Amino acid sequence: MVSSKYINNKNARKYLRFVEWKAILRLVFDTDNIRMSEAFPDQATEVFNWHDKYIIYIERNANSPKARALHAIYLDLLNNKILNLDEFYLRLRAGFTYPKIGKPLKNKTNSLVKNSGRNQFYNTKELTFVDNEMLVHLIIKNAITLANTNYSPVVLLEVFNALVFKNYKGQLTKEMLIILRGIFTTKVNAMEKSITRPEATILRHPIKKLAKNTYHLYGLFKLQCEVGDTWELPLTELTKEQLGVGKPAALEAVDLLIKLKLIEISEPKKQQAANARVTVYKRLK
């Protein structure tokens, strides 16, 4: 049997009951509304009213740190960024029910966390769990480096643990670890939304001139055709008109796109004239 703190509490705020309902629905019952209704049959018909109260609360308190923290928790629930109920209640307690009020973090730390794309729960000045600006900087820097690489969840956790335990000399509480991990994973996710893995792979190529030409050419393919479409391109147009480079540099860029399985040569056209050779490229990604 699943226990709740707010759903069964008639004196609890309806917007809190709604957020807890969503948390249990997603984290315990895997969005199975039937099982959720069976667990809380007396409240199943009230959820829509709770939802309305939640919307009203968030809109009326748009400038409230507590309301922003609650909404950030709700959005992270919807985006599967909260692992379990323990993390949910911990964040709810830290950011909403019992926020820790204290001196603001240093400006540099605030800027780092804010620029990480983290939600309000992590960059609000009232929350002072993280007070080591170098550690936050390292976490964000390594998250950027790790994004769009062929990492596994195990590697992600190992990198995070190594950073934290190597660079933080004090005692780490559970709250600090959750917040730091949130900054780390959210930055990785944000970076992977801002650029695709193939584009990141191209830009990280050690030969910068080749990376520049290949990135430009891949952008032209994306501009010219959808995935699965073809583009008939004479070599002269590819080199001079499209890329503005010589034949060797243009062919190197094409070759890299083919190696990355972003394009393929579909069906070469017959050569009609010595200077009019046309190649048909197919965009794969």
Q: How far is CA 150 from the centre of its chain?
A: 16
pLDDT at 117: 45
The per-residue pLDDT string of the chain (285 residues; one tens digit each, 9 = 90 and over) reads 678 889 999 999 999 999 999 999 998 998 888 899 999 988 888 999 999 999 999 889 888 888 888 888 898 888 888 888 888 888 888 777 654 433 433 443 444 444 444 444 444 333 334 446 677 788 888 888 888 887 777 888 888 888 887 877 777 777 777 878 888 888 888 888 888 888 888 888 889 998 898 888 888 888 888 888 888 877 777 776 677 778 888 888 888 888 888 988 876 555 555 455 678 888 888
pLDDT tens, residue by residue, 203-218: 888 899 988 988 888 8
- CATH class of the domain whose range is 198-283: mainly alpha
Extents of the domains making up the chain: 14-96, 107-194, 198-283
For residue 190, the tally of other CB atoms under 10 A from its CB is 15
